[in-house]
Amino acid sequence: MGQYIRNFFDRYKKIIVWGTGNFYTVYKDLLDECFTYFVDNNAEKWGTILDHKIIFSPEHLRKEKMDETLVIVCNHYVEEVLAQVRRYGNFDIIDIITVCLVKQKEKELTVSKSLEASHCIAVCGGIHAMWQMNGSRKFIDGQLEQLHQSGFQTLEIIPLLYFQAGMREPVFWAISANGIYQGLFRSDSLVKFYPKIKGMIIHSLYYNWNTIETLLESFTVETRVLYYIHDYACLCTHRFLYKDKKLCIDAEGKMVCNTCSADEERRRLLHFYQALFEKYKVLMIAPSADAKARVEPFYKHIEIAELPHLDFEQETCVKQVNSRIRIAYIGVCSWSKGWEQFAMLVDRFRCKYEFYCLGDCPDDLKIKNVWYVPVALKESEHVPRMTEALLQYGIDIAYIGSVWPETYSFTYYEVYEAGCFVLTNAQSGNVYKQVTVNRNGFAFSSNTEMMEWLEKGMVRRDIQSINKKIKNVENSKAFLKYFDKV
């Protein structure tokens, strides 16, 4: 276990792990059996033993001394668990992925020279966006590279998911300078080194939205503050606009919040952002027209600019189709990305089509009659990137079935670059809009409609109708103009 994390843990007389599912299985080696017991919401597990530790109901937390106890969250739904833990007391809380990523970063610790304030851009984001490999990280890495190529220096700020005494604001920030990890700092100590900076970019602080206020109050920004809309955390605590597998928008895309238990908190969050963005003249950046149209009604007095993540060129192509058509699910397998609907397609058409999954799929979600292909987000000698994998496996149809309105979707543009036909639905946000505009696929109003199309004999003809794809895809540099002038 790394020294930073060991120092955290040594402060407590008792450590409790919240969660006994897949997250614990993946990350349990980080804990060195240093914890006392588990708590879990699954009543069927209460009183049972896992790895020589007993599993209790969350109610058991009421018996613990709050100032001596740390709760480690081993659960995908961090925000929901944080709220639940706080109902039982003002415990210190840390997320297991934070433990994992900080331990990895400790190996890279290098002290570099101070940055020049007149050339310094602070890039702030949540630990899941800045350090985990995903679409957000891919974009942010590209943006950092462009800033460096343009002569700017970058101060990367990540608020840790480590909260003391039940506070909503994190205690420590992980800091890198020009991509070189510097260690953990308290917010007040960091600002002493960099009271004034050239500009600021904020990405995906959905678990730490209170931190935005601290950032804006602490630094004097010479040019602009850009807030990137990666999801809808600026509209609701349910940032993908669904709760319990139910969408927060109707068929026309309008918010339906009147009956939601989170409506009051949503209003408070909206007021918080609106007041803060207006005070500090924050420029909101929408990566697509669809995302801008969803946010604009709530931020009528805040400037919103539409800046697509990528620049590219179009070219004509002739689409070749396999004798047995190949359909691939694209991206991480999850309900929100349409994995359940894809499983229905496989079950019905397994004898007619070949099915693939290009992306990460946990073992417990895998289904039969599907070829699973690992895909790399970065250059790798052994694992192809998405566009390469689509071409290598000769995929004819790419299924991007997001059930929430995507703000952007990197996978759509990777599929477009490979010249594949896209299957999506009317709820997929920017994916739906782009498929409609570029005419490189179909967007269905229901799963039944999609199945009827796959059943008919026109599928091959429709795939062959694709005559365009994109090339020379690179990150857009349009955002740099906001830091050119004082």
User: Residue 464 has which token pair?
Assistant: 């062959």
Evaluate the CA torsion angle 344, 239, 253, 295 in order and state its sign.
negative
What's the pLDDT tens digit per position in 340-356?
999 999 999 999 999 99
Query: For residue 1, what pLDDT is reported?
Result: 42
Q: Report the C-alpha gap between 273 and 235 in whole angstroms.
A: 9
Res. 192: pLDDT tops 80: no
Domain ranges of the chain: 3-104, 105-311, 313-475
Extract the runs of DSSP E, i.e. beta strands, from 57-197: 69-73, 92-95, 120-125, 153-159, 162-163, 172-177, 180-186, 196-197
Question: pLDDT (tens digit, 9 = 90+) per residue, 77-134?
Answer: 787 888 888 889 889 888 888 888 888 777 777 777 778 878 999 999 988 888 777 7
CA 369 to chain centre: 29
Region 66-71: mean pLDDT is: 90
DSSP H or E segment with residue 53: strand 53-56
Could you read off the pLDDT of 401-442 as tens digits, one per residue?
A: 999 999 999 999 999 999 999 999 999 999 999 999 999 999
Choose which CATH entry (3.30.70.20, 3.40.50.2000, 3.30.710.10, 3.40.50.1820) describes domain 105-311: 3.40.50.2000
Which of 132-146, 265-279, 289-303 has the lowest average pLDDT? 132-146
Residue with tokens 């790798």: 380
CATH class of 3-104: alpha beta
Query: Which residue has better confidence, 17 or 132?
Result: 17
Question: Residue 170: pLDDT band by 50, 70, 90 thresholds?
Answer: low
Order of strands across the sheet that contains 153-159: 180-186, 172-177, 153-159, 120-125, 199-203, 225-228, 283-286, 304-306
Residue 63's contacts (CB-CB under 8 Å, 6 or more residues apart) are: none
Beta-carbon count within 10 A of 313 CB: 8
- In the block, residue with structure tokens 């994916």: 431
Task: Measure the CA–CA gap between 77 and 205, rounded to whole angstroms.
Answer: 15
pLDDT score of 150: 93
**Token couple for 138:** 């891919």
Which stretch of 17-21, 183-187, 190-194, 411-415 has the lowest confidence by average pLDDT? 190-194
| Spatial distance between the Cα atoms of 61 and 239, rounded to a whole number of angstroms | 28
pLDDT score at 304: 97
Residues 6 or more apart in contact with residue 446 via CB below 8 angstroms: 425
Q: Which of 38-52, 93-107, 301-315 has the lowest mean pLDDT?
A: 93-107
* Residue 142, token pair as written in the block: 């590209």
Q: How many residues does the chain have?
A: 486
Averaged over 34-60, what is the pLDDT? 93
The arithmetic mean of pLDDT across residues 308-327, rounded, is: 93
Residue 87 phi/psi, 5-degree rounding, is -70, -20
pLDDT above 50 for 188:
yes
| 3-104 and 105-311: identical CATH topology | yes
Q: What is the mean pLDDT of the chain?
A: 88
Residue 486's pLDDT band (boundaries 50, 70, 90)?
very low
Q: Which helix (H) or strand (E) holds 50?
A: strand 49-50
Cβ atoms < 10 Å from Cβ of 405:
27
Share of the chain above pLDDT 70, in %: 95
CATH of 313-475, one of 3.40.50.300, 3.40.50.1110, 3.40.50.2000, 1.10.3210.10: 3.40.50.2000
Give the pLDDT of residue 103.
80
